[in-house]
Chain A
Amino acid sequence: MTGASLVVTDLRVEFSGFVAVGGVSFDAHPGEVRFLIGPNGAGKTTCIDAVTGLTKATGSARLGQTELLGKQVHKIVRRGIGRTFQTASVFDELTVLQNLDIAAGLHRRSVSLLRARRGIDPSIERALEETGLTGELTTPAGILSYGQKQWLEIAMLLVQDAKVLLLDEPVAGMSQDERTATGELLQRIAAKRIVLVVEHDMDFMRRFATRVTVLHQGKVLSQGTVAEVQADPQVQEVYLGTADAITEA
């Protein structure tokens, strides 16, 4: 059941004549932590936006046999594609439990929404343990640390049992320890799922990536393992000029 792969073919996105993504192809399989990197404006986030239905695009993005492009956002999610955002976006006024419960509600019948919650879903407990948030069950999400918010977002996707996790700069603003914890978390959950990470942080990428796709000005510059990509002279050329920007983030 974990067999389906995410295959993106010739993805194109235009904004009023400006080509943000110009024919990008890549794929991601269960079991790997897949990275999408590139300098600012390379079109990384736009790729995710397109796959999740936020931005209109042409080309193809398939999960197994299912074409995703052209579907409504919430219907794509219901196919098992979940994402996080550059700036952690959780429901600040609600507690961690409430946040996760909403995520878990995806597959509940709508009538059950009218009842109050009783007890905690087993899937929520598992996700809490996985992300180390068990102690924060009743904390309002708004007062979580930045790293915790990112983990909460990931936990929400786990609760939903998403087949594909598209993570947009999950370690931005995190401490070194938090980065390591996040990386390990990603490796754990990637065992059964597709994990695609958009990142600026080259160090993080080097430590945890299984395979990498480098984007530059809306096109694929290079693709392969970390070592292969680092060895690519084109990548070196692009990144030398913007080395500061890469590690800063």
Chain B
Amino acid sequence: MDALIPQLLNGSAQGALLLLAALGLSLTFGQMGVINMAHGEFLMIGAFSAYLVQQVIAASDLSIPVALPVAFVVAGLFGLLLEVTIIRWMYRRPLDTLLVTVGVGLILQQAALQIFPSQGVPVEKPSWLDGQLTILGYAWPMRQLFTILLAAVCVAALSAWLKYTSFGRRIRATVHNRDLAETTGISTRTIDRLTFFVGSGLAGVAGVAASLIGGTNSQMGAQYIIPAFLVVAAGGIGQLKGTILAAWAVGVALAFFAYWTTGSLAQVLAFILVIVFLQLRPQGLFTVRTRSLA
């Protein structure tokens, strides 16, 4: 089984990208119950932000580290705009939110097609990501390592933010019991906006990572939304550790399926795997059994 190690590492990196794409979704869906189908387009916004940063800072060694926070903020602001203009009216209609954001996604895609060169734009990889790390005879691309590292940093930052800051605590309080949170003086409106900002911002960060792996163009977001949602669902709503494990599992499954079969079949098999899993465990990998979970 000489394929074991390479596909495991490669799958882990694919999982890390999925995790990055799913992280923000996990926050907005898990914590707020909002399914944002434009999440993939926020990812695209992050990737285009990276491109625009590179137009200002030509040296790619520097531009990518700068692009990460910029993409976070730009995508986050788009998310905030979406929340303030549309989502806020629809918290009681989750299924309708899903369809409304489909419309938002369509518009963002078409806008990107018209604003940027239709063939897409190049995002140059920093030279410090050139080369490979040889692990057990497999030349592991540095870029994959970077994706994993980036995902790890985002997970750590997000969980620390949720756990230790007052905002994070308020988010958790709101999630737990919205009415109670309001009566204790928490502005749930502010919390909603902030959660959406961060969730969308994380999509922007994922977009930068995606821009280093594939093309940066108007269509790029579409390929991430369904897998990302499946990851969130399989992990269990609002369960960070579940999302991480599910993303990793799907990534590794994709890598192995692609190795054993073809790239197309791998996608089909991975989807079916998750669907069957969710059939067996509709609540996902992890679940909290309380009565008051909102």
Contacts and interface: CB of A to CB of B under 8 A. Distances in A.
Direct contact, A vs B (beta carbon within 8 Å): yes
Interface of A: 15-16, 18, 20
Contacts of A20: 291
8 contacts: A15-B289, A15-B290, A15-B291, A16-B288, A16-B289, A16-B290, A18-B290, A20-B291
A19 to B, nearest CB: 13
A204 B258 CA distance: 68
Nearest to A55: B291
Nearest to A56: B289
What's the dominant secondary structure at chain B's contact region? Answer: loop
Contacts of A16: 288-290
Nearest to B291: A15
Interface extent on B, as a size class? under 10
Contacts of B288: 16
Interface in B265-294: 288-291
Contacts of A18: 290
A223 to B, nearest CB: 25
B286 to A, nearest CB: 12
A18 B289 CA distance: 10
B149 to A, nearest CB: 34
A20 B291 CA distance: 10
Nearest to B288: A16
Contacts of B289: 15-16
A47 to B, nearest CB: 13
Interface in B191-219: none
Nearest to A20: B291
Of the listed residues B288, B289, B290, the one surrounded by the most CB atoms of chain A closer than 10 A to its CB is B289
A230 to B, nearest CB: 30
Interface string B16-46: 0000000000000000000000000000000
A16 B289 CA distance: 6
Given A15-B290, A20-B291, 6 more contacts: A15-B289, A15-B291, A16-B288, A16-B289, A16-B290, A18-B290
A63 to B, nearest CB: 25
A15 B291 CA distance: 8
A210 B26 CA distance: 51
A20 B289 CA distance: 12
A214 to B, nearest CB: 22
A18 B290 CA distance: 9
Contacts of B291: 15, 20
B266 to A, nearest CB: 37
B192 to A, nearest CB: 24
Contacts of A15: 289-291
A58 to B, nearest CB: 15
B228 to A, nearest CB: 28
B110 to A, nearest CB: 37
